[in-house]
Structures are given as structure tokens and as C-alpha cells.
Amino acid sequence: MVAVGEAATGLARACHPEPALAVTALAGLLALRSGLDASTLVLVVAAVLTGQLTVGWSNDLIDAGRDRAVGRADKPLATGRVSARTVGVAVAVAAVACVALSLALGPAAGSLHLALVGCAVAYNLVLKRTALSWLPYAVAFGLLPAVVSLAHDPPTWPPWWILTAGALLGVGAHLLNVLPDLEDDAATGVRGLPHRLGPARTRLIAVSLLALASALVVLGPGRPPSWAWATLLAVGILVVTALRGSGPTPFRAVIAIALADAILLVLRR
């Protein structure tokens, strides 16, 4: 019998807390920056959080057998720290809450957010094993700003360059996220786009896409503030570091570029 405290800890780890909180924070900051009223802002954050919990828990539930096969000690389901039944119940509760909270945002924003969660679940179920593994990330990150803008009264769409930059950030994040697990994934038959590209090309393309997203946000229509140019210069330095560094430095540099992209998306008008 798994102890309650250990099961709770395992459940928290199984939801992929780092990306879940990062995406939720990004949505919340976009909502705050867009001028949504407090109640709608809270709804956006809650809807995105429950959507991320649904995606994260379903991912570990679907991959439990693979994770056991490769001895993933960081996966609570694979190590028995939490049961499949507990995670299954958590997925169901999070999914029901996500539907209710999303629809409370209005038909346009709610339907779009649920479609994005559906894209992420489709990745977990099928697309992560195909050459189209990048597509759900492009759609979900690209249209996340639209969930926020469609929650306004009246609903509006963000400019095309924000949507494009978000899509580039999403694909770059996908390549970056998969990079440390390429060998484990390959051992269990997962062959998404990064696995087909190989580690060297995956890193190069991830850096290129994230840098392009930075440039697109800064050089988009309107007059960017001086700090945006400074951020773009910093991204250029990080690109060189990511491509020419050694050890863990390139990976950290790419993460820093992704963070800069997120900041630019939130603050750029």
C-alpha cells in the first residue's frame, strides 16, 4: 500500500509540474498584460492549469509501461510511488474541471482552449511517435494568446506575428523538451521528429526557431521599446553559446532563449 503522503508527492510529480506551471504562468501574464478583469483572469489561469494537469497526468498514465521498461526513476507511476488508479481519477477530475472552467470563458475562448488541450492529448496518444510530433506544440503555443484575447468582451484575435512567434516557441520547446530523452524514447519505439533528426540537428533547429521567434516579436509591427532590442542582443549571444558551447552550457542557453521569448511575448505590444 502506497502511503498517502508519498502518493500525493508522486501525483504532484506525475503532472509534469515544471512545464505545467510555466505554461500556466505564461497564460496568466498574457491575461494580465491584455487588461482582462480580475475574475476573467482567474478563470483563464484556472482553465489553463487544469488543462495542463489533464495533459501531464494523461502523459504519464499512457507512458507508464514505457517508463518502467527503461527504468525511469523520475516517473512516479513507473516506480510505484503512485498508482495508475489514482492518476486515472486525477485525470478525470482535472478534465471535468477544465471543461467547466474553459466554457466559463465564453464560447470562443472556451472552445479554442479545449481544442488546444485535445491537441496535447492527441500528442500523448499518437503524434509523439510520428514525424508530426511538432504539430500539437505549434498549434497549442501559437493559439494560446488567442485564448486570452478571445476571453475579452468583445472577443478579438491577436496579430498574426504574435501567433507565429508563439508557434515557433512551441516547436522549439518541443525539440528542447525531448532532447534529454532521445535514447530512452528510441529504446521503446518512440520516433517523433527529434528522434528522426538526431541530437545535433535537433539542437540546431531548436535554437534557430527560438531565435526566429525572438526576432519576429521584436521586429513585428509597431515601435519596440529599447529593452526589446537589448533582449534581442542577449538572445544573439545565447545563440552563439548554444551552438558553440560544451557540456550542459548549450542546453541552459537554449532554455534561456525560450525564457526570453516568453518574456517578449508577454511584454511586447
pLDDT in tens, 156-215: 999 999 999 999 999 998 998 888 778 777 777 788 999 899 988 998 999 999 999 999
Q: Is the peptide bond before 159 cis (omega within 30 degrees of 0)?
A: no
Residue 145 lies in a domain: no
DSSP line for 123-141: HHHTGGGSTTTTHHHHHHH
Supply the CATH number for residue 93's domain. Answer: 1.10.357.140
Say yes or no: 182 and 258 in one domain: yes
pLDDT surpassing 50 at residue 155: yes
Q: What is the CATH number of the domain that holds 258?
A: 1.20.120.1780
Is position 180 within any domain?
yes
**Would 146 be classed as within a structural domain?**
no
192 neighbors 178 (Cβ within 8 angstroms): yes
In a domain, 150, yes or no: no
Pair 129, 14 in one domain: yes
Q: Is residue 195 part of a domain?
A: yes
Shared domain for 93 and 180, answered yes or no, is no
Q: Give the chain's domain count.
A: 2
As a whole number, the mean pLDDT across the chain is: 89
List Cβ neighbours of 164 (8 Å cut-off, separation of 6 or more). 142, 216
Angstrom distance (rounded) from CA 262 to CA 195: 26
Tell whether 39 and 94 lie within a shared domain: yes
Q: Taken in order 99, 135, 210, 223, is the CA torsion positive or negative?
A: negative
Asked if residue 97 is part of any domain, the answer here is yes
Phi-psi region of 42 (alpha: psi -120 to 50; beta: other; left: phi over 0): alpha
Do both 170 and 267 map to the same domain? yes
Distance between CA atoms of 212 and 206, rounded to whole angstroms? 10
CA distance 28 to 35: 11
* Mean pLDDT computed over 142-148: 96
Least confident of 19-28, 73-82, 162-171, 204-213: 73-82
What is the widest separation between alpha-carbon atoms in the chain? 61
CB 159 within 8 A of CB 41: no
- Spatial contact of 129 and 189, defined as CB atoms under 8 Å apart: yes
102 plus 45 within the same structural domain: yes
Stretch (H or E) spanning 184: helix 182-187
Q: What is the mean pLDDT of residues 207-228?
A: 86
If you compute the radius of gyration of the chain from its CA atoms, what whole number of angstroms results? Answer: 19
Whether residue 163 sits in one domain with residue 87: no
- 1 confidence band (pLDDT: 50, 70, 90): very low
- On whether both 169 and 229 belong to a single domain, the answer is yes
Judge if 66 and 116 occupy the same domain.
yes
Q: What is the pLDDT of residues 83-140, one digit of tens each?
A: 999 999 999 999 999 999 999 999 999 999 999 999 999 999 999 999 999 999 999 9
Q: Note whether 180 and 191 are within 8 A (CB).
A: no
User: Which triple of cell numbers denotes residue 39?
Assistant: 475574475
**Domain limits at 80?**
1-136
Whether residues 6 and 124 fall in one domain: yes
Q: How confident is the model at residue 269 (pLDDT cuts 50, 70, 90)?
A: low
107 and 7 housed in the same domain: yes
Q: What is the mean pLDDT of residues 136-158?
A: 95
Is residue 147 assigned to a domain?
A: no
